[in-house]
Structure 1
């Protein structure tokens, strides 16, 4: 186990080698837990908007504005991360962004008006994405070439949050406590983490003499960043419109919404499997190709069947397939950054915010014009783009070396 200070000398050899045991030390555990807090908020936000709309009586168009403002905040965060990372230590950036995210949760849940809750959505997207990005940076700084395993394991907690956050929200919404208490759960956990780890030194950004300045990111890094964004868009399209397609098979709206949990369960199981498979280094590319190979046929089963049971099975298998696309794609993006990991991390989140925001909107527009079943042809196109980006990124990486 390595002891970190606020600076790492450029002359020191990198501690990240393939022969070093993978150690879940304090910075790693902190990152895993804090990422779970953020994803709990993320997966509670969508269902909470439905409840908020019922209380405040705003339109479906305004409902979309909440999502748009969240994405806008996320994009602004991605733009500003490199600037902030150059001026603040990892610890200061983490705890400041965590505090701001808690503030966003307070504005969103306690605002009592459309204007204040909209402001909360912006703060949520801005501060939450900043916290996500710095957590990813800490794991990358700490584990170097083994970042694929660290990011995959970290997203196991994200998968668990995807399963439990809507369930907790629904349970509290029907209780005397109310749905707003759901957003206090991650805040309490973050306070506990701060009290436990506030004095814990976190790994500093590695110093790469050759990477100084404002040079461009390598082509492979950009292609892998697009892969990261498009793979996330596949998931968002399923989350937003999957229940609507299940209704076409004969399920009621309530049953279709509940059946979406099969996708979340698939994501959780897929990430548990991915965490096991990435215990040995060098498996990220093979696992990515395997994940895309599972996602394609599984989506076709979900998309084209008229039997509810088969559609739910397809949705579950889609979750297994897409589970590891984001963490492994991000690991490839950071690995191809050529010493500009912070810049690559920020750019990947910026592209993700744009692509993941546009894709569901595009699918909805196509559905209004051509029907939902036809509109879902967008998903195979996104899967095909992922295959092309992975192949192109690997080829560009080989050419660069």
Structure 2
């Protein structure tokens, strides 16, 4: 009944998507809501890594334990990816959006208010589940609304995400140095989500682009899976920097608080890169070239960050890494959904499942290597991930070309 009521309030699917299909990009209410909600999620996400660094200073746990926070977040993310298609068949986009936001708030409360390692680890898992479900439904809404122009919508959405990423560690560092404490940082997105709910709770959202009952048994094309793996591996590159970049800066002589704050240079680079990406994607046909150039920039800038022992150069390398990493995820996602061919929800969910699994494994592997061989040696994992991303991009493009030719 809820689904029928919402659909009756909407224009026809063809009417909703006509501007996007005609090449006109419209930033309407569902788009603005999606952009703002994504900003809240990414504020949490990019405050989480530096917050774990500060938590380690308080609780004195090992690098391996530190990596468990990433693992449990990623396990929650994988569960969200596994369950999204099931949830999307039974719930409207609107109900799924606000339930996911509520779960994110609960995860934030557990992480910040729970005492000790077990409670904060549980918060990380709930955070990953609710936050990734929120991310996935936002991506679905933007894909439903903008169709063939989803690459621009996803890139623009991630500009706001990049801005949140810049401010999150700065706010975290400022509050950590004050009497308020760093934990108050995680209340800010919750307040914004409450405001968004009060403003948009009755806002109709676009219906799914495909018939779930008709597509339930279909398989995703090989190209779609390869692009989903590209999303996952490029996310792993970023996650390793987010969780262990501050630790590397500490080894150059910075304090824990200064290192957590300096990670903002990486997020500033992400914001700059996404502003450039949004400008470039206004004209169709530039996605592949932008992905190749982004991977090249990531490789060069990571080498600077990895090999220097000077704090200034390390921070500069982190900034340049952010510029390179910035557009990998949104453009790989756009290619994943483009090659799904009517199974966008399935592709969206499976890609988040793969992202969760890979993002769980890579920081845990890096943390384990760091405990055994040192952090600098463990960071050799990053060039491996960059090389794998290049191979996945090449393979996905080749598979897409062969499918089109068949």
Q: TM-score, normalised by structure 2?
A: 0.89
Partners of 2:369 and 2:375 within 8 A in 1:
yes
Q: State the 1:199 CA deviation.
A: 1.1
- Helix, strand or coil at the partner of 1:15: helix
**CA 374–75 in structure 1, closer or farther in 2 if over 3 Å, else same:** same
Name the counterpart of 1:152. 155
Distance 1:139 1:258 in 2: 32
Paired residue for 1:231, among 216, 229, 234?
A: 234
Gaps of 5+ in 1: none
Query: How do 1:253-268 and structure 2 match up within 5 A?
Result: 255-268=258-271
Name the counterpart of 2:3. none
Distance 2:262 2:142 in 1: 33
Partners of 2:142 and 2:154 within 8 A in 1:
yes
Name the counterpart of 1:24. 27
Q: State the 1:127 CA deviation.
A: 1.1
**CA 186–198 in structure 1, closer or farther in 2 if over 3 Å, else same:** same
Name the counterpart of 2:280. 277
Query: How do 1:300-339 and structure 2 match up within 5 A?
Result: 300-339=303-342
Distance 1:13 1:210 in 2: 22
Q: TM-score, normalised by structure 1?
A: 0.90
Name the counterpart of 2:343. 340
Distance 1:123 1:294 in 2: 34
RMSD: 2.6
2:240 corresponds to 1:240: no
User: Which is worse superposed, 225-234 or 201-210?
Assistant: 201-210
Distance 1:216 1:6 in 2: 32
Paired residue for 2:69, among 41, 66, 70?
A: 66
Distance 2:21 2:12 in 1: 21
Q: State the 1:283 CA deviation.
A: 1.7
2:357 corresponds to 1:354: yes
Name the counterpart of 2:79. 76
Give the total of aligned pairs: 398
Gaps of 5+ in 2: 1-5
User: Which is worse superposed, 254-263 or 184-193?
Assistant: 254-263
Partners of 1:294 and 1:321 within 8 A in 2:
yes
User: Which is worse superposed, 12-21 or 310-319?
Assistant: 12-21
- Helix, strand or coil at the partner of 2:31: helix
Q: State the 1:351 CA deviation.
A: 0.8
**CA 6–223 in structure 1, closer or farther in 2 if over 3 Å, else same:** farther
Paired residue for 1:40, among 39, 43, 49?
A: 43
